[in-house]
Chains A and B, each alone.
Chain A
Amino acid sequence: MTSKTEGSFIDRAVMRSLDRPLPLVAQYAVAALVIVLVAVARVLFLPASLPWLLFIPATIAITLALSRGVGYAAAVLSAALGMASMLGPLHLAELSQSQWAAGGLFLIVDLGLVALAGAFRISLANARALNESLAESGRGALEREAFVSSVLASSTDCIKVLDLEGRLTFMSEGGQRVMEVSDFNAIVGCPWPDFWQGAGNVEANAAIEAARQGRSARFIGKADTFAGTPRWWHVAVSPIFGSDGKPNRILSVSRDITDLRASEQDRDRFVRLAENSTDFVGMADTDGHVSYLNDAARRLVGVNDAGDRSLTVSDFFPPDQNEIVQRDVLPAVAAGGTWSGELCFRHFESGELIPVLYSVFPITDADGELVGYGTVTRDYRAKKAFEEQLRLLNGELSHRLKNTLSIVQAIAIQTLGTADPAMLSAFSKRLNALSAAHDVLVKESWSTASLGDVAHAALGSFDEARRFTIQGPDLTIGPRATLALSLLLHELATNATKYGALSVQEGRVSLTWSCEDNGNGAQLSLEWVERGGPPAIAPTRRGFGSRIIRMGLTGSGGVDLRYEPEGFTAVMSAPLEQIQQA
């Protein structure tokens, strides 16, 4: 914005010369030329009685247009040429005294005029500079004003100015938007604290009172917008001081924190989730320093001081367990995995070992960098006690069962008397096989048994136990298959002792098993091979024993019996899935 004040011709000429000054040499040349031309004009056109007339305006014009210095030079030149023009250059000495006086007077007057014109020129220049700086500052003020009002308009905060009574006098444009004000005139002058509900109203009044006394105040409150939308606001209220240093108005800036508050509430809920959990919830830095423990955690291990930051993960474990944590757990988690397993904590006061299910997971920041370890650990004392109880009960049950089998055997023997000792012996041995199977089952709480264990238990009671070769992969089988296989192996071994390979010194028996998947699921195949005994002959009579053998592993067959000259072979197979069923 450039405002050129329209002035007189002289003004404009002077301005022009100020704006675009000629080089100094050119200025003197122009001045000299003008004065010479004036002198010539004076000789040609003016009478000798007016020798100085034209020089005066010329030097004034030169001074105004060029500068005072050039003006002085022009005045001196004018005086010289003026004098010369009266006589001609070669006759200076012939000038009269009055002519010398007039020339000197002219020079003094002209120099004075030059000084005046020069001062005028300088003041013109100053006035112009002042004018320009005024215009400049006016522009700056306008720009600042425009800037402030655009800031106010674009801020999403609601910026308000209140009078000392708390009445609304101004609200920023952006503020009107967030407060959903359609017509500010409708609410101007309204008492601002009335916009607040409940506790917010009390806080707002207190903030106004504080601002009146020159203090700032802030609070968080709930207020509806003018369109009725409920919102949470963070409000800062501060006094605006007048020139007397006393508050004369009040500034109130409210920020909509509804979303923030919602996310805070979400986070609050997570914090409460951890706080209220009955599981041990804890967090540690990457260097192992514990940064958080919930109440359940502190109770479990007996840490009272919530703010004790010197605890490390190691402090929670006895030495042997800590070794596992440092060697296996933390490295696994630091590598981005999780770890879960049964360990023991150590109580901080009593030193009691506390069996726990320890689960650790990495805690990462927004960039995925590891910042610590988290754990949700379950107190396993009750579970362990229960397991111990179960183990005891199992042992007791097994004991009672075997005792009962003993009593059954005693009753059978006492009932049947000595009628058939061989039959009683066979009966007693079958009871024994059954009992051995239960022994194996009780080891895993009656749920599963290892096939190898079952075979060793069933065949171990035979005198010829050394002559069995038992071989096969580790496999677990269910309780039903355990009982069936135990009785079956007992019958096979009994037969081998009576008629087969074990009836002679050199005979041997091998029991091998393997698992194969032929496309219909894994199939267990078990082979009983007798060698070194008499040629095998199929029995003519089918007793209980041979029926047990024919039932196979699952009670439904799958048994191939071969009676060959080199010995007896039994191949039994069944789907592994059935064998492993409960």
Chain B
Amino acid sequence: MGQFTPFLRHPVLVIEDEPILRIDALDMVEQAGFEAVEAMSVDDAIRILETRPDIRIVYMDLDMPRGVKGIELAARIRDRWPPIEIVLTAAYFNEQDLTMPARAEFYPKPVQRDNVIAAMRRMAGHVEDQADS
């Protein structure tokens, strides 16, 4: 991208079908200084990613019961948009049960906001580096 994007206003796509958790996740992302983009379902998320090439960080709940399994969507995002960084959470899975996409990070529910925000900031740093180079 040619234009300068302020570090803290990177858009983060939050994919979460549970309304209360979505509200909280959006709040967390915004408080951390990111732009929060919300997706209520997997299909929703794909559509948004197709129209928002500036989204480089995805925060996603793997426990979504409808549609494709969460982890498969994560793998698809990794394949289709390799530069996108992925932060995953789940109640149903543990990290050791999952085949994690490369570079993705996993935080079990209930998540500790500090950890997730720290991860997102690290990833935003990578994105900055990529943009600079």
Contact = CB atoms under 8 A, between A and B. Distances in A.
B20 A410 contact: yes
Given A413-B24, A414-B24, A403 B112 contact: no
A414 B91 contact: no
A298 B109 CA distance: 50
B122 interface: no
Interface in A435-470: 435, 439, 461
Contact of B114 (A398, A402, A410, A425): A425
Interface in B72-89: none
Contacts of B94: 439
A461 B108 CA distance: 10
Contacts of A514: none
A406 B112 contact: no
Contact of A418 (B20, B31, B109, B111): B31
Contacts of B105: none
A414 B27 contact: yes
Contact of B108 (A402, A408, A418, A428): A402
Q: Which interface class (under 10, 10 to 19, 20 to 34, 35 or more) fits A?
A: 20 to 34
Given A428-B112, A429-B112, A435-B109, A407 B21 contact: yes
A399 interface: yes
Contacts of A413: 24, 27, 113
B20 to A, nearest CB: 5
Contacts of A414: 20, 23-24, 27
Contacts, number: 62
B77 to A, nearest CB: 22
A428 B20 CA distance: 16
A409 interface: yes
A403 B18 CA distance: 9
Contacts of A400: 91
A137 to B, nearest CB: 105
Interface in B16-30: 18, 20-21, 23-25, 27
B110 A399 contact: no
Contact of A411 (B20, B108, B109): B20
15 contacts: A399-B91, A400-B91, A402-B91, A405-B110, A408-B110, A409-B24, A410-B21, A410-B25, A414-B24, A418-B31, A425-B113, A428-B113, A432-B110, A435-B109, A439-B108
Given A407-B20, A414-B27, A428-B110, 13 more contacts: A395-B92, A398-B92, A399-B91, A402-B108, A405-B110, A406-B91, A406-B109, A406-B111, A410-B24, A413-B27, A413-B113, A424-B113, A429-B112
